[in-house]
Amino acid sequence: MTPSKGAARAAALLDAAEQVLTTQGNANSAMRDFAAAAGVRVGHLQHYYPTRADLIRAVMSRALTRSLDRLAVVTDTDQSLSREESEHFIAVLLGEQDDEATVRLYVEVWAIAAADEEVAVVVRDFYAQYIAHVERAVACAQPDLDAVELSATAQTIVSLLEGSAVLRSGITGRKSDASDRKLVNTLQYLIHGP
């Protein structure tokens, strides 16, 4: 189904805003910067996204949906999870960190969420969904875990991944084969247990 003209315009505005956030950063961007990148007037941008917070929330929501869609390919199952399948799951998770623009977008959004409660709500909702996806994968590998242990394991996995995003990206330039192997082994251990 082809998106409507309005939906296509809204998506193009989000593309431009995402590009501004990843190249200029949140602190150096205003509605006029987003409008200029999209080749529209500020009033046109505000027709779709009345405030800067509305625009950033929409950018974040779309980026988070893309992440969850990539995870769903691996986590939307009720069958047991083999080590090979969990390797694929881990590869999907780490694959997002290979895209420097995606990592930069998340870093900018984390900074925004620290100061904007409305954006923080979007981020919290994303992590609730993200952790739920990871819980499903862990439950397939370790069906006997109780709910508390399952949640703690999933949250630990997500914490490792989010921290590794900064270290593995171009932001710090600390990515190495040795640390990646250690990270994958640790994630495998958490997913499958001792």
Nearest Cα neighbor of 168 from 67, 97, 92 is 97
At CA 5, angle to CA 59 and CA 52, rounded to 5?
Answer: 30
Distance of CA 133 to the CA centre of its chain: 13
Distance of CA 56 to the CA centre of its chain: 14
d(CA 139, CA 143): 5
Q: Give the pLDDT confidence score for residue 16 in this predicted structure.
A: 95
pTM of the model: 0.79
Q: Give the pLDDT confidence score for residue 43 in this predicted structure.
A: 95
d(CA 192, CA 194): 7
Q: Give the pLDDT confidence score for residue 11 in this predicted structure.
A: 93
Q: Give the pLDDT confidence score for residue 107 in this predicted structure.
A: 87
Q: Say if residues 126 and 67 touch (Cβ distance below 8 Å).
A: yes
Token pair, residue 48, equals 């779709």
Q: Give the pLDDT confidence score for residue 40 in this predicted structure.
A: 96
d(CA 3, CA 189): 43
DSSP string, 133-190: HHHHHHHHH-TT--HHHHHHHHHHHHHHHHHHHHHHSTTT----HHHHHHHHHHHHHH
Cβ partners under 8 Å of residue 116, min gap 6: 53, 56
DSSP 1: -
Residue type, 143: P
d(CA 64, CA 75): 16
Per-residue pLDDT of the chain (194 residues; tens, 9 = 90+): 667 888 899 999 999 999 999 888 887 788 999 999 999 999 999 999 998 888 988 988 888 788 878 877 666 666 677 788 888 888 888 888 888 888 888 888 888 888 888 888 888 888 888 898 889 889 988 999 999 999 999 999 999 999 898 888 777 777 888 999 999 999 999 999 88
Q: Give the pLDDT confidence score for residue 74 in this predicted structure.
A: 64
Mapping DSSP to helix (H, G, I), strand (E, B) and coil, where does residue 104 land?
Answer: helix
